[in-house]
């Protein structure tokens, strides 16, 4: 989502068991780049020519609108970038990024599409992240209570550290509820899918996933079941509308082109249309986060500002990440077929049995294939597709083939699915390879899994912009696969599309037989 895809723990916090922490340290200790791999972004250029960045922005207004038409309608995202890579013979080039006129004042960007140049966007010594969460425009502050929330802050801003610490606290203080509440919420999801399958012969995964994800986050982090509150079962639909008001300018909803172009791609939707719904969200979070709000006030953040940040972290980052990534991961595994399903079921059930029948962190550490499948899903279809940064100074950016001069103040943009499917880094880069990250050689590739606004083998801190919930996202993704394959031997799906990812319909669920 030009989203920070969800919330995760820094390695210094104790959500993960000692065995999991050891695993993370082991990866960090053993990661080296084999000689056949390309040099890292920070390496000094070796015989790389400095070239002028190809591409141009066209005429004012006309150029950005033409690029917007190509991006949304004439070509679509993938072909928009592929065609320009072919045209310029370069993975670094200039183009306009939507929305353009009349929402963003300057849509000009330098695009980075390979695994070597893309990490420049993580280096806060080179790029500034202020107000760049959604790219070349920023949604109205009315949508976040008048505050610039954490995702829009640069690490150099004092409030960034205070708010990121608050989010770390949110996750670490509730870690004991994560596994039991996930199991409870997603058992309800699978019960619902089974009932719908029995009645209709098919079941919509996305709708059930939305409800289960919001229930889980509310129960685990705030100790409350939303169905027992004023929100009832309306939380996911309210959040979806609120997110649309923020991301509408960079989405296509499948409406007729002239309608989208004359509305969401040209003008901001007025906050007044969802003000009452947002107030319900605010009331829910304010009433159920008393301790966190008190802690925030003690370090100089008002309760009001803290509450709006908790809403954003929970609803936009975390719920949004689960809403996008879980269907995408189920799609990949569903398409992989019965052989992978059986291997996962055998591994997961064996590990759980050997740990006394309990789902624990140590049990999941034994599931090497399952862990690899999660990483591969994050690699091939990252929940956050876009990253932005503004050059703090004149810098040199290297692709695999050349070096380019970027001037201070220029906007950099990276489309992550190209960087994480770089064929010069990954063999069979466009294929879903379930065991890609198994073993020592597989672990070395985690450096290039960068869905969290940073490498998978590094950790979020208050000094960087890596997703505060990186480890949390990986954990809940693993839990989804554990629950799925404890319960079922295999499943079948149909796949469509939605504005935010895959639309999954379950057509068969085969109950566990061994």
Tell me the β-bridge partners of 390: 128, 411
Cis ω for the linkage preceding 42 (within 30 of 0): no
Count Cβ neighbours within 10 Å for each residue of 231-240 and write b for 16 or more, e otherwise: beeebbebbb
Do 127 and 144 form a contact (C-beta atoms < 8 A)? no
Residue ranges for the known binding site for heme are 467
d(CA 75, CA 72): 7
Q: For residue 488, what is the enclosing H or E element?
A: strand 488-498
* φ, ψ at 507 (rounded to 5°): -110, -15
- Longest C-alpha distance within the chain, in Å? 67
Tell me whether residue 375 is exposed, middle or buried, using C-beta atoms within 10 angstroms of its C-beta: 0 to 12, 13 to 18, 19 or more: buried
Give the 3-state secondary structure of residue 379.
helix
3-state DSSP assignment of residue 444: helix
In the annotated binding site, the residues are 467
Alpha carbon distance 202, 508 (integer Å) = 7
Among candidates 506, 510, 476, 485, which has minimal Cα distance to 344? 485
Query: What distance lies between CA 26 and its chain's CA centroid?
Result: 25
């Amino acid at each position: 989502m030009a989203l920070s895809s969800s919330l995760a723990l820094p390695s210094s916090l104790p959500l993960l068991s000692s065995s999991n922490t050891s695993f993370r340290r082991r990866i960090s200790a053993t990661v080296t780049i084999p000689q056949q791999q390309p040099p890292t972004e920070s390496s000094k250029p070796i015989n790389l020519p400095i070239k002028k960045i190809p591409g141009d922005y066209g005429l004012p207004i006309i150029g950005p609108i033409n690029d917007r038409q190509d991006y949304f309608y004439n070509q679509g995202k993938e072909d928009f970038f592929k065609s320009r890579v072919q045209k310029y013979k370069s993975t670094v080039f200039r183009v306009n990024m939507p929305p353009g006129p009349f929402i963003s004042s300057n849509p000009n960007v330098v695009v980075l599409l390979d695994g070597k140049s893309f990490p420049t966007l993580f280096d806060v010594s080179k790029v500034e992240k202020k107000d760049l969460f959604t790219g070349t425009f920023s949604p109205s502050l009315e949508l976040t209570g008048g505050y610039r929330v954490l995702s829009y802050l640069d690490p150099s801003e004092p409030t960034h550290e205070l708010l990121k610490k608050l989010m770390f606290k949110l996750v670490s203080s509730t870690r004991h509820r994560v596994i039991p509440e996930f199991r409870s919420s997603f058992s309800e999801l699978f019960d619902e899918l089974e009932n719908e399958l029995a009645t209709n012969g098919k079941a919509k995964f996305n709708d059930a996933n939305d409800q289960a994800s919001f229930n889980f986050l509310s129960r685990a982090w705030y100790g409350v079941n939303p169905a027992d509150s004023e929100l009832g079962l309306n939380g996911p639909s309210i959040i979806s509308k609120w997110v649309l008001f923020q991301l509408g300018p960079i989405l296509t909803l499948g409406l007729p082109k002239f309608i989208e172009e004359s509305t969401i791609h040209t003008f901001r939707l007025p906050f007044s249309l969802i003000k009452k719904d947002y107030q319900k969200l605010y009331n829910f979070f304010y009433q159920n986060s008393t301790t966190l709000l008190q802690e925030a006030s003690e370090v100089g953040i008002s309760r009001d500002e803290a509450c709006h940040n908790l809403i954003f972290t929970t609803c936009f980052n975390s719920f949004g990440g689960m809403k996008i990534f879980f269907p995408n991961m189920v799609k990949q595994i569903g398409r992989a077929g019965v052989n992978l399903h059986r291997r996962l079921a055998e591994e997961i059930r064996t590990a759980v049995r050997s740990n006394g029948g309990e789902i624990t962190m140590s049990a999941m550490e034994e599931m090497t294939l399952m862990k690899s499948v999660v990483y591969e899903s994050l690699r091939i279809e990252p929940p956050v597709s876009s990253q932005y940064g503004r050059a703090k100074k004149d810098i040199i950016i290297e692709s695999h083939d050349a070096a380019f001069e970027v001037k201070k103040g220029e906007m950099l943009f990276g489309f992550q699915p190209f960087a994480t499917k770089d064929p010069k880094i990954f063999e069979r880069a466009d294929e879903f390879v379930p065991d890609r990250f198994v073993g020592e050689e597989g672990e070395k590739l985690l450096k290039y899994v960068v869905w969290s606004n940073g490498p998978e083998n590094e950790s979020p801190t208050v000094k960087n912009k890596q997703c505060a919930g990186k480890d949390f996202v990986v954990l809940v993704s693993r839990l989804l696969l554990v629950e799925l394959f404890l319960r079922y031997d295999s499943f079948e799906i149909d796949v469509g599309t939605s504005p935010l990812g895959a639309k999954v319909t379950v057509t068969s669920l085969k109950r566990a037989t061994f």
